[in-house]
A and B are shown apart, each in its own frame.
Chain A
Amino acid sequence: MFFEQITGNLIQGLVLGSVYGMATMGLSLIFGVLKIVNVGHGAFIMVGAFITLWLFNTLGLSPILAIPAAFAVGMLLGLLFYYTTMRRLIKAPELASLLATFSIGILLEEVIKLIFGSEFRGYNWAVGKLNLGVTVLPMSKLYACIGSAIIALLLYIWFNKTRAGTAMRSVVEDSEGARVCGVNVDGTYAMSFAIGIGLTVVSGVLLTMFIPVGINPYMGGGYTLKAFVIAVLGGLASPYGAFFGGLVFGLIENGSYMLFALIPGVEPFALTRFLSFVILLIILLIRPTGLLSTK
């Protein structure tokens, strides 16, 4: 019984983790290239969720079709905020960029609240379920998982096989060196920020495929905190490291519940959260480059 339950939880954790991982790739990309922590990360996820909801409820479009739409909106938002704000803050102290991204997050939340109201919404995309015996998996979750994996793969290919991707990697390694070698650093910054935000907004779509309820302007906060932990697990500056970080995080969150539940007199669910932050601190101290790095 115990093992059946824990296997079920771990399967769920793996599926969830892939989506979490995808939801962190944008954060890691932006940090990797621009050295800016996007504290308003969750707000962009929320924007993706509202795009999905709106397309589904008014036009009846399936969430899968919302992915390209969300990416386009994300790119545009990214370019907008890059050229109006972030561009001037790249060399500024952390304080300024942290506060700026946070304010952008608030701005998005309040604008969405003005348009859609503060109601908690959801949509119902009925595509059946898959019974695995130990647990039940709705197909929409499976699609979200597969979608995340495909996007992670595409990003990997783009990074390693295209010219723009290589330029981006060279900026991550050494921005001055890249500039000397003729890489358009400012253009690369803008591109990375736009793609990073695009990925984050897309992850909002995938997250609602996973959890299609509770969509509201302030839903992003919890995801921001999770994304920090996952990003650190994956090495903070590496987008596909973040994807694997997500998988590990999903497994920890779902697996440890059963173990904490064995301790009497505690609240196991809150302790799983506690554990994830303890792991965050340990990794930051021992291996700030992430679990998967070879350095």
Chain B
Amino acid sequence: MKKNSLTIILSCVAVFCFCFLSNSFAAKKKIVIGHPACLSGKYAKAGEQAVGGIKACIDWVNTNYGGVTLDGKKVPLEYKYYDCESKKESVTSLLGRLITVDKVNVVFAPYSSGLTLRGAPVSESNRMLYMDHGGANNKIFTQGFRYVVQTIGPATAYHEGTLNMIHMTDPEAKRVALAYEDSEFAKMVMEGAETHAKKLGFEIVFKRTYPKGVTDLTPLLSALKASKPDFILGGGHFEDGQLFNRQMADLDINSNALSLIAAATLPAFYEALTSMAEGVMGPSHWEYGVKYSKSEAKKVGMEWIGPGQDEFVALFKKAVGKDTIPDYHAAEAGAQVLAYVLAVEKANSFDTDTVRKALGDLTFMSFYGGWDIDDSGLQVGHSMVDVQWQDGKRIIVWPREARTGKLVYPIPTFAEKAKGKIATP
């Protein structure tokens, strides 16, 4: 009996020591990215994309790039993620585990500004680099966090490109209508759009919001129709964007241009609306077809890293096991992996402060486009593209240097579209 228990204790100690040793041994052998991902709950859609994008880029770094160069040796990346259910309570508890138990070297924030903010104090107090690919709220970067770094562009910039484009295409257009979802993110986009529109000399003839989870927009859209805008900017999330477009068609509200954030850039948008979506635009952080490449980077004198666009798409498909083109949620999360890899190589260390400093000095280009942050960690180097649905395909129409086709302006009316007219230049 006594002997038995002694053996048990000894073997426990042995196992423990082994775990401890192998753990500290392993820490030098790989770099671990931790991620409390949103795989279920309200952000499941964007969360799945992000996980796919991260997996794709890690795959590229480990196989094509050979790993991260550290002290002349190649170190592979590892990805550790849990499902936070899109809930704040789970974000912090999983972060605690990632940082102390899994001993990750960097944490990727969960999707949305709220969840990003919930995790920030915990990563901050653990002196852990916290990279934000899904929280667009500008105010995250005025809170004094030291280790929060953004890859997604700030919310206020979403509709700036669209306004520039219309301003240059049609100097006659003056009347703009703004109709956004009443949420922290969409309100910030609206604020940015309003300021920029005024700067360009547009007149804001309509400015209203609709609550989250709305199922009927008729009263708002009738009022919008009465204000006779030249073009309409709006949206908020996925479902309300489809509703917005559909009910505009139902009420026969036509304008020269319609741009909706979030919803309009997804393939499901056109599948749901078919011809009604012709000519509808949306700003996007990244879209399949953008012309960022190694040679393009060379032209503008920027460093290049990462897979080419088609390579990324192929790796993404492999990672999620589905034959779908990734959307921008995947691309921005993937680009974040590349930013981290470059910064670690430049710093030649994975110490948080050193890497954070290297990230501050870093400017590079990848399939996702430019990447550069200001002192607070806010993304300033990435410009958004504008996508327009033309004949069932997503065509990048802005900015000029990245475009894959010409802008259709004004777009066909809903009556014309119902008869089969498509938006082609």
Contact = CB atoms under 8 A, between A and B. Distances in A.
> Are the chains A and B members of one assembly?
yes
Contact of B222 (A9, A119, A124, A223): A9
Secondary structure call for the B interface: helix
A210 to B, nearest CB: 8
Interface string B14-55: 000000000000000000000000000010110010000000
A222 B223 CA distance: 23
A126 B219 contact: no
Contact of B214 (A122, A141, A269): A269
B220 to A, nearest CB: 6
Given A5-B223, A270-B211, A119 B45 contact: yes
A60 interface: no
Contacts of B238: 120, 214, 216
A227 to B, nearest CB: 12
Nearest to A213: B242
B17 to A, nearest CB: 43
A269 B222 contact: no
B239 A272 contact: no
Interface residues of B, number: 41
A8 B243 contact: no
Interface in B212-238: 213-216, 218-220, 222-223, 226, 238
Contacts of A219: 239
Interface string B237-279: 0111011011100111000000000010010110111111000
B202 interface: no
Contact of B250 (A8, A123, A138, A222): A138
Contacts of A136: 250-252
A120 B239 contact: yes
Given A5-B226, A216-B239, A219-B239, A124 B214 contact: no
Given A5-B226, A226-B215, A135 B251 contact: yes
A221 B275 CA distance: 29
Given A121-B271, A269-B210, A270-B209, A5 B218 contact: no
A91 interface: no
Contacts of A254: 216, 218-219
Given A213-B242, A213-B243, A118 B182 contact: no
A141 B263 CA distance: 24
B271 A122 contact: yes
A257 B269 CA distance: 28
Contacts of A121: 268, 271-272
A13 to B, nearest CB: 8
A1 to B, nearest CB: 7
A1 B223 CA distance: 10
Interface string A78-121: 00000000000000000000000000000000000100001111
Interface in A34-77: none
B218 A9 contact: yes
Contacts of B222: 5, 8-9, 12, 135
A191 to B, nearest CB: 30
Given A124-B275, A136-B251, A269 B239 contact: no
B175 interface: no
Given A120-B242, A124-B274, A129-B252, A269 B209 contact: yes
Contacts of B245: 213
A216 B204 CA distance: 34
Contacts of A211: 215-216, 243, 246-247
B88 interface: no
B13 interface: no
B208 interface: yes
A211 B271 CA distance: 15
A16 B245 CA distance: 18
Contacts of A12: 218-219, 222
Contacts of B242: 120, 122, 213-214
Given A213-B243, A257-B223, A16 B209 contact: no
B418 interface: yes
Contact of A253 (B182, B216, B250, B273): B216
Interface in A6-43: 8-9, 12-13, 16
Contact of A16 (B208, B216, B246, B252): B216
A267 interface: yes
A141 B250 contact: yes
B1 to A, nearest CB: 48
B249 to A, nearest CB: 8
B208 A267 contact: yes
Contact of B240 (A214, A221, A261, A273): A214
B273 A122 contact: yes
B225 to A, nearest CB: 9
B272 A269 contact: no
Nearest to B246: A213
Nearest to A215: B272
Nearest to B245: A213
- Kindly name the residue among A213, A218, A261, A273 whose own CB sees the greatest number of chain B CB atoms within 10 A: A213
A138 B250 CA distance: 6
A293 B242 CA distance: 39
A119 B216 contact: no
A129 to B, nearest CB: 7
A216 B263 CA distance: 14
A140 B243 CA distance: 15
A269 B44 contact: no
A118 B215 contact: no
Given A214-B240, A226-B215, A257-B219, A122 B209 contact: no
A212 interface: yes
Contacts of B246: 122, 211-213
15 contacts: A5-B223, A8-B222, A9-B218, A13-B218, A120-B268, A121-B268, A122-B246, A124-B274, A126-B418, A129-B252, A211-B247, A226-B215, A257-B219, A257-B223, A261-B223
Interface of B: 42, 44-45, 48, 182, 208-211, 213-216, 218-220, 222-223, 226, 238-240, 242-243, 245-247, 250-252, 263, 266, 268-269, 271-276, 418
What are the 10 tightest A-B residue pairs by CB atom distance, in nearest-first order?
Answer: A122-B272, A257-B219, A214-B239, A213-B242, A222-B213, A269-B210, A213-B246, A136-B252, A12-B218, A120-B238
